[in-house]
Amino acid sequence: MNYHRQCVLSHKIGDGEEVKVAWIPEKFAVKGKYLELKEDDGWENGWQVMEVGVRQASEAVRERSLDYRNQRKASDV
């Protein structure tokens, strides 16, 4: 079975820093490692793993990644 880890990633941009939380394959979830992430407009290099968090089966992560599509329907009153 394959697993993903929820990680905090950091990327330097200009004088600042961008931080995001993402599920990444467990083999890449190594604190201090630099990664290349796929963004909407292509691949972006230079993301550093700052923290490694909880572990989930890759299949469960993929299933939950589409939940946002139904949230509005379920939460609108």
Beta pairing class for 3-13 and 42-57: antiparallel
Q: How confident is the model at residue 1 (pLDDT cuts 50, 70, 90)?
A: confident
SS3 6: strand
Report yes or no: 36 and 9 within 8 Å, Cβ to Cβ.
Answer: no
Amino acid present at 70: N
**Confidence (pTM):** 0.77
Domain count along the chain:
1
Residue 42, Cβ density class (10 Å: 0-12 exposed, 13-18 middle, ≥19 buried): exposed
Q: For the CA atoms of the chain, what is the radius of gyration?
A: 15
Q: What is the mean pLDDT of the chain?
A: 89
pLDDT (tens digit per residue) in 23-39:
999 999 999 999 998 88
- What band does 65 get if pLDDT is binned at 50, 70 and 90? confident
* Residue type for position 25: P
Structural domain containing residue 64:
3-75
